[in-house]
Structure 1
Amino acid sequence: MLGRLAVDVAIYRDRVQVTERKSGIFIDQRADHPFSSDTQLVADATRFEHALSHALRQILKTGAYMLYEPRAVVGPTDPALTPPERALVRRVLQDTGFRRIEFEDE
């Protein structure tokens, strides 16, 4: 049976954790190439997208998902994302195919 893809995304230094909301499947993806810097949690969009894509592929191979209006909820981060980092995360999620993106701390 098809389900709509809805995930929670947690971002840490050079690590992304993705949880599929319905099934509870949890992926902890360490970045192959660091995307954080000393001053920014998400400093490199390409490397962040690479880590996120790896985690999403692992979730997608576990079942059948409709990719109609997929949804991502980004949890609070420590340190908090700056406005430019938040825009970068939103752009990467959109480029990855997500249409509904929410930040829990908004």
Structure 2
Amino acid sequence: MKKELKEKLEHIVELVDKLMVDPDIDIEYCIPEVATTSDSCDLSKDPYILIKYFISEYNAPIRKIRLTESYLRNSPEKISSLITSSIEEFKTEIDSVQMS
């Protein structure tokens, strides 16, 4: 991995960790050479972030956010903003299903 990309990904992880403080959300990183916090990472493809939303002890929907090449053309700040928006959208979708 190129040094520039590695530094960018490290910065994204830092920003997402700062922005997403929610006890119901678990964030697992599958980013080789930067952050691999899940035992089940598939490192053969694009790096990604797994989002788990803990609704109950037995219900934790998951969303995978892939950090594709086109995604990574943006600044770390823009990418972290997109990721946090995606997480909030995910929570809203799950909550609306739970309410109906």
* TM-score (normalizing by structure 2): 0.36
Q: Which structure has the greater CA radius of gyration?
A: 2
Higher-helix-fraction structure: 2
Higher-strand-fraction structure: 1
* TM-score (normalizing by structure 1): 0.34
